[in-house]
Amino acid sequence: MTNSLGFARHGDKENSPFFEQYLTRLLEERDRVGVTDMIYEIDAIMITVDPGHSIGYIAELALMTPYHYLVTLESESHWTHVLRIDLDSPDLLVREVKDPNIRGIFRSLNEVYPIGRHKPNSRYMGEILRVSDLHGVTACQKEREFRFFNQDDVRRLEMPGNLAITKPSPYTHNIVCYMERPRHELRVYALGVSRVREDVQAAYEAAKDKQKQLGIEGLILPIDHLATRVYSQNREVAILEWLSLSSYYYWGSYDIKDQNSSTNVTKSVHYPQEINSPAKVFTANNTPYFVNHLEKLPSPTETFVRNYGPRLHHIAVAVADGESAGQENIEYVVEQIKAQGHNFLLDVIGSKEEGLKQIFSSASEHSSLIIEYVQRFGDFDGFFARDNVARLTHAAGVEEELKELETQSTDRPVPR
Ligand SMILES: [Fe+2]
């Protein structure tokens, strides 16, 4: 039996007695009833984009990440493109809504937020977790009061019929899906009609050729972590809820005092390497927005959540340790991608001495998601330089302030 409480704790952020008590109770019970050993890696992540955006997004991902275009699943009102590296790392499902007038629960989650509503269908939806016993896991989770879409809902949502899908979390707005698959069998998504679309294939191949030509193809590795931003008061419950839904453990939290924020890390109990199952990170302000005027504190994380809603903020992709053309790989990769017209929010930060270097890209015009590149040196296995996190958070906040101003200057009342 896996012991989810047997991992070393990192970080300096103090949690409430509520958190510590329920962390122990929830993980002990999860291990005891066998849920920990029925749920495995993140098998896929799902992102929806607005009409007309999936080809551009796939080209962007083919250049900036190791993903390959595999196939498109066509259903009545969506194209679901399957992107894959291999079976040791998660797939990426990019769903494009065909009709801009389509309405639904995921769109509603964007529409109540002032910037989020401008790309009403574009959002990170959540993860698919591989399970060994779909019935066993869902029965247990239902007993623990997690809510699931029923089979009719799943059909209407045009999501793969072989998934069990939770309702969006009240804290992160993400969904968690379970898919039964023995470790060495292929991933199968039971959805629509499957074919390779020539227009998608052409855009993918052009971007991949460019990636090869730039000499960055072998330097960019699979996803390292997925970072979700939540309201300050939801930090602890968002972590505990995710741990209850997955087989992840609590690695620890760092207080980023400079930015009035904390970074909270969870990792898979089954896979020590993030490339097999990315770490899930939660970021939250330390204090709610309405005390800022008293404390005179910055608030980029809470501002993001107020503008976009709780949601995924960035996908971090690892860069191979080493050097290319006399530069550290991360510097080389960023320089090549910049030359293709992609912007970054700051220069590469961090150092070999601190253990890692990091950078944020600008938010994608297709998905609103930022790509982080992270290069770790030697055997460093942490997520910080604390100073890096403060500077990354600050840079993303500055960019977002600009977007907010843009939005205000172009905003029209929403027709009723
Ligand atoms: Fe990150």
Residue pLDDT, tens place only, 308-325: 999 999 999 999 999 999
The pLDDT of residue 176: 98
The pLDDT of residue 107: 94
Ligand 1 centroid vs 59 CA: distance in angstroms? 23
Ligand 1 centroid vs 319 CA: distance in angstroms? 13
**247 closest CA partner among 132, 83, 384, 88:** 132
Average pLDDT, the chain: 94
Residue 336 has pLDDT above 50, yes or no: yes
Ligand 1 centroid vs 383 CA: distance in angstroms? 8
Ligand 1 centroid vs 135 CA: distance in angstroms? 34
The pLDDT of residue 387: 84
Query: Is 129:146 a contact under the CB 8 Å cutoff?
Result: no
User: How deeply is 26 buried, as exposed, middle or buried, from its count of CB atoms within 10 A (0-12, 13-18, 19+)?
Assistant: middle
The pLDDT of residue 416: 42
Residue 414 has pLDDT above 60, yes or no: no
Q: Report the distance separating Cα 287 and Cα 261, nearest Å.
A: 8
* Torsion angle of C-alpha atoms 405, 406, 409, 414, degrees rounded to 10: -110
Residue 412 has pLDDT above 80, yes or no: no
Residue 75 has pLDDT above 60, yes or no: yes
Average pLDDT over residues 386-396: 87
Average pLDDT over residues 376-387: 82
**409 closest CA partner among 49, 118, 100:** 118
Question: Which percentage of the chain shows pLDDT scores above 70?
Answer: 98
Average pLDDT over residues 144-161: 97
pTM of full prediction above 0.75? yes
Ligand 1 centroid vs 90 CA: distance in angstroms? 17
Q: Which helix (H) or strand (E) holds 388?
A: helix 386-410
* pLDDT tier, 406 (very low <50, low <70, confident <90, very high otherwise): confident
* pLDDT tier, 403 (very low <50, low <70, confident <90, very high otherwise): confident
* pLDDT tier, 399 (very low <50, low <70, confident <90, very high otherwise): confident
Q: Report the distance separating Cα 304 and Cα 335, nearest Å.
A: 28
Q: Report the distance separating Cα 357 and Cα 375, nearest Å.
A: 5
Ligand 1 centroid vs 102 CA: distance in angstroms? 32
How far are the Cα atoms of 75, 294, 296, 297, 307 from residue 291, in angstroms, in the given order? 47, 5, 8, 9, 18
